Structure 1
């Protein structure tokens, strides 16, 4: 994600990317070739707290987020941070406190925050088209974990700060929180093999009186699948593979035709730029939302 968002930001009209840091010299050398106009280093201090930079993006492993986010906010920089916000409760508390005290923009990069599918279902609930919300189901399936594009990030495979509950379910926890309100864990369970991250997850949560179920499994034959279903008394909605939205009013699902920009790293960076300029935006996740999601995620790991 760090490399991908760097590529997007380098060509984004709202930003001038001046500096970037990574503690891996090989990563720095490779990225310097692709972005000769950016000053790279292996020292985070060249970015964090610099009075030459208005804002920083942080895509380090989640257990390290607080060590960069807190000093950046204390130095007056705006922060765009990858999810999950943190692993430990103490780190999350420190980050939220720094965001409140600093008064600068502090946002979390949840990929569903500005998706057209999210906004469409949100409006359907507000308009009453859904009717009574009866339940939410989240189903995640991975033939292997980590996924192919994450194999270089070795921490993703470990128990300490990795696993699909933190990396993937966090997005759908945010979506459910956004649409229905804060989630309260009722029963959570993970299955593990040796010291690796979870191979299965089950969770029952409540959003108010609405039951929210998670089932996830690693190692199943077949393709990866990501499915979030909202069951309503008048309409139900199914979000599949992040972008494909379906609606049911009877016994059949039919696709929803979404128009306009579907939502991407580029559109979220545009929203972050507006937040840096002082606007408060509904479609960008703030640290308060990230904090609520982090509490739900870590309930599985307790």
Structure 2
């Protein structure tokens, strides 16, 4: 592998949408040695005004197509609401750009398949930004699995709780509160589906479903439960929003010799049969900056394992949408129901 000191000129990056993630990626890329942010867009001029002063070298626009079609852009980062991902990504790949997209890949499974097909047909780079891709805690669990320290994997538990949804930092993203493209299953559970898929293989939803508020079935879910399998390994999901309790993110891998608890995105604990003990982690924690480095590797012909391609993200999307649809093979509509179960089909 080439050292980063031997890299060619920085990649010229265009950013589409300047919400919470768009601004975070803009900040990370602006100080990243492998990137020059040349253009950024948002349909809301106020969003542009909030960042323009801090980034005087960036050309801002309200038209995403100016970024996609610009000859001075090598790669496009897409941070729009997910229903717009497919058309923007396919247009960008058609214009010869590499694409780094926020998760979920899409809402419609047909759109997700279109994205995978377009990347394959054009030989384009397409990657998706899952926060756990290169987290140090994840790499340590991966190492333990590879070394055989876990023994036989007995199961996975995924537990999520939210006193408030959308979360406070997402208050400006109204779409997250709706069922058509929002909710914590798509926004948060998708990260842990990706993690399980990566470490144990593709997941099969056996019996999954959501509850939405009876008063407003168009609102995002207030509960999700699921039984899935990764091969022979059982995977259980239990998640709630609007509850009196702490915000919680837990992913537990149960093994016959060693078990791991990943809590709140970066805290890793281990048990060899007794109580949970904290794990001291070394190396970079993993961040938007490190994932930008991985994306640059992909654009320049390398293939890091710690970054999801569109095919991986489509597997994750299919599992996530199973919580919303009884038949994930054909259903691309999101209807106003209060409870759905894949086991009912």
1:75 to 82, 95, 100: 95
The alpha carbon displacement at 1:30 in A equals 1.7
The alignment yields a C-alpha RMSD, in angstroms, of 0.8
**Which residue number in structure 1 is paired with residue 240 of structure 2?**
217
**Which residue number in structure 1 is paired with residue 157 of structure 2?**
137
TM-score (norm 2): 0.86
Q: Distance in 2 between matches of 1:4 and 1:159?
A: 25
Point out 4+ residue stretches in structure 1 off by more than 3 angstroms.
none
1:269 to 2:285 alignment: no
The alpha carbon displacement at 1:104 in A equals 2.7
Aligned partners of 1:105 and 1:278 also within 8 Å? no
The alpha carbon displacement at 1:60 in A equals 0.2
Q: Distance in 1 between matches of 2:93 and 2:162?
A: 36
1:36-115 maps to which residues of 2 (within 5 A)? 36-115=56-135
**Which residue number in structure 2 is paired with residue 155 of structure 1?**
175
1:292 to 315, 325, 328: 315
The alpha carbon displacement at 1:133 in A equals 0.3
Q: Distance in 2 between matches of 1:50 and 1:280?
A: 26
Q: Distance in 1 between matches of 2:133 and 2:287?
A: 10
2:143 to 116, 123, 145: 123
SS class of match (2:181): coil
Aligned partners of 2:209 and 2:322 also within 8 Å? no
The alpha carbon displacement at 1:284 in A equals 0.9
Aligned pairs, number: 302
Q: Distance in 1 between matches of 2:257 and 2:22?
A: 41
The alpha carbon displacement at 1:123 in A equals 1.4
Unpaired runs of at least 5, structure 2: 1-20, 326-345
SS class of match (1:270): helix
**Which residue number in structure 1 is paired with residue 252 of structure 2?**
229
Q: Distance in 2 between matches of 1:90 and 1:51?
A: 29
The alpha carbon displacement at 1:226 in A equals 0.2
**Which residue number in structure 2 is paired with residue 201 of structure 1?**
224
1:228-267 maps to which residues of 2 (within 5 A)? 228-267=251-290
The alpha carbon displacement at 1:99 in A equals 1.0
SS class of match (1:104): coil
Q: Deviations over 1:178-224 (max 9, x none)?
A: 00000000011111111210000001100000000110001111210
The alpha carbon displacement at 1:272 in A equals 0.6
Q: Distance in 2 between matches of 1:127 and 1:294?
A: 30
SS class of match (1:205): strand
The alpha carbon displacement at 1:146 in A equals 0.3
Q: Deviations over 1:152-184 (max 9, x none)?
A: 011001000000000000000000000000000
The alpha carbon displacement at 1:102 in A equals 2.0
**Which residue number in structure 2 is paired with residue 170 of structure 1?**
190
